[in-house]
Amino acid sequence: MCRALIIGAGGVGTVVTQKVAANPVFTDVMLASRTKSKCDAVAAAIGGNRVKTAQVDADSVEELVALFSEFKPDIVINVALPYQDLTIMDACLECGCNYLDTANYEPKDEAHFEYSWQWAYQDRFKEKGLTAILGCGFDPGVTAIFTAYAAKHHFDEIHYLDIVDCNAGNHGMAFATNFNPEINIREVTQKGRYYENGKWVTTEPHEIHAPLNYPEIGERESYVIYHEELESLVKNYPSIKRARFWMTFGQEYLTHLRVIQNIGMARIDPIIYNGVEIVPIQFLKAVLPDPKSLGSNYHGQTSIGCRIQGVKDGKERTYYIYNNCDHEVAFKETGTQAVSFTTGVPAALGASMWAKGLWRGAGVFNVEEFDPDPFLAELGEQGLPWVEMFDVDLEVDKIK
């Protein structure tokens, strides 16, 4: 018996709720979010009174504690926004619930994300005998599990890790983000950062770029940006000499981003407009397309994976492990596009790993600290098949 509470009824929450509801390991399921009508719509589409719904402001520990005390979840799946990670973790500690999320904590007033805030909960989760699973979407999430799988089965030492994230889909809009616009724009406009020889190297935004080839897609310009799983992976795999994260952007997208920044619409500090305090990026989110609405006209694929170089039995080897996900296939199954799908499927699967007792432990864990095998054994069946290639040209090794 496992009672699961999902928080956040956005694109990702829609997929998580469908996958959790379809899995008999979860006996009781609830979806709670700021706007209850959105939870009701997701629950109605699933039908059969399988999913209960509730309204909650996840910024309030008090409201969360009241909800958790009533529903008594064994595990809370946080797919609201990174701003709510700590309040939800606090409420989990107070009510004796286990925790899983897909994005690390970010303070609202600083576009800065790192694990230190959540790693600081280690002793408290340990003392209570509770599990907190951090970063169980696709990236972070499956990318770290791919790395753990490579380390377990194919390498004695990983030396170079390049995570490559390509969205070759086309939604037909002039500009839209694939997940929450506020979080997305904060992420992609910050300075680049990668790890090399024990140090973090900072670059200007999008300074390092190169054309990379993606399976079934072809060549796409790819840019080094900072991404949160790099922080935990270089800690958990100390043999890594260099770790980078690459993401593809189209020229049109980058032009829009530059304009948004230049005219001040990416600002995260409050301004006064007509006597009312507004935060420009939050206003921008309100006028941009809802990522959840992009699916119906989205064509093409995403391709996300890890390109790894290292040593096995004294020999150098290269390895590429990836998943391609088709926007139209994701939409047909869940009514959402591939970015929500590739995030929601691993979150629901990670929660089921906990529910089945396969991923357990007292404390705070990044996903690569668990056994990757049972998770990857099921990932394909859940809609995200993965492919391995050995001793191939990784391309990234030529770009220093």
Site for ligand NDP in 350-389 (CB under 6 A): none
Site for ligand NDP in 246-285 (CB under 6 A): none
How far is CA 341 from each of CA 37, 101, 179, rounded to the nearest angstrom?
21, 15, 11
Residue 195's H or E segment, with its range, is: strand 192-196
Type of residue numbered 21:
A
Residue indicated by tokens 């996903």: 367
Q: Residues 340, 14: contact at Cβ < 8 Å?
A: yes
Burial of 73 (0-12, 13-18, 19+ CB in 10 A): buried
Binding mask 19-58 for ligand NDP (x = CB under 6 A): --------------xxx--x-----------------xxx
3-class secondary structure, 269: coil
Q: Taking the complex as a whole, how short is the minimal distance between the CB of residue 58 and ligand NDP, in angstroms?
A: 3
Alpha helix locations (H) across the chain?
11-21, 36-46, 61-71, 85-95, 116-119, 122-128, 142-153, 181-188, 229-236, 251-262, 280-287, 327-334, 338-355, 372-379
Among 73, 140, 335, 383, binds ligand NDP (CB under 6 A): 140
Q: Taking the complex as a whole, how short is the minimal distance between the CB of residue 113 and ligand NDP, in angstroms?
A: 9
Q: Taking the complex as a whole, how short is the minimal distance between the CB of residue 159 and ligand NDP, in angstroms?
A: 25
Residue 98 within binding range of ligand NDP, rule CB under 6 A: no
For residue 42, which of 74, 10, 86 has the smallest C-alpha distance? 10
- List Cβ neighbours of 263 (8 Å cut-off, separation of 6 or more): none
Residue 212's H or E segment, with its range, is: strand 209-214
Cβ proximity to ligand NDP: between 310 and 364 the closer is 364
Please count the residues of this chain forming the interface with ligand NDP, following the rule CB under 6 A. 34
Cβ proximity to ligand NDP: between 222 and 337 the closer is 337
Q: Taking the complex as a whole, how short is the minimal distance between the CB of residue 400 and ligand NDP, in angstroms?
A: 27
Residue 180 within binding range of ligand NDP, rule CB under 6 A: yes
Report d(CA 49, CA 92) in Å as an integer: 25
Cβ proximity to ligand NDP: between 247 and 257 the closer is 247
Q: Taking the complex as a whole, how short is the minimal distance between the CB of residue 299 and ligand NDP, in angstroms?
A: 20
Among 53, 84, 232, 337, binds ligand NDP (CB under 6 A): 84
Report d(CA 254, CA 6) in Å as an integer: 33
Cβ proximity to ligand NDP: between 310 and 344 the closer is 344
Q: Of the ranges 74-82, 113-121, 274-282, 350-358, which one interacts with ligand NDP (CB under 6 A)?
A: 74-82
3-class secondary structure, 244: strand
Residue 394: count other Cβ atoms within 10 Å of its Cβ: 20
Side-chain half-sphere CA neighbours of 4 within 13 A = 33
Residue 9 within binding range of ligand NDP, rule CB under 6 A: yes
Cβ proximity to ligand NDP: between 278 and 392 the closer is 278
Q: Taking the complex as a whole, how short is the minimal distance between the CB of residue 8 and ligand NDP, in angstroms?
A: 3
Report d(CA 29, CA 159) in Å as an integer: 42
Q: Taking the complex as a whole, how short is the minimal distance between the CB of residue 341 and ligand NDP, in angstroms?
A: 10
Binding mask 285-314 for ligand NDP (x = CB under 6 A): ------xx----------------------
- Which residue number places its CB atom closest to ligand NDP? 10
Q: Of the ranges 11-19, 44-52, 295-303, 390-398, which one interacts with ligand NDP (CB under 6 A)?
A: 11-19
Among 73, 137, 192, 350, binds ligand NDP (CB under 6 A): 137
Q: Residues 233, 151: contact at Cβ < 8 Å?
A: no
Q: Taking the complex as a whole, how short is the minimal distance between the CB of residue 81 and ligand NDP, in angstroms?
A: 5
- State the residues that interact with ligand NDP by CB under 6 A: 8-13, 33-35, 38, 56-59, 79-82, 84, 102-103, 137-141, 179-180, 183, 291-292, 339-340, 343
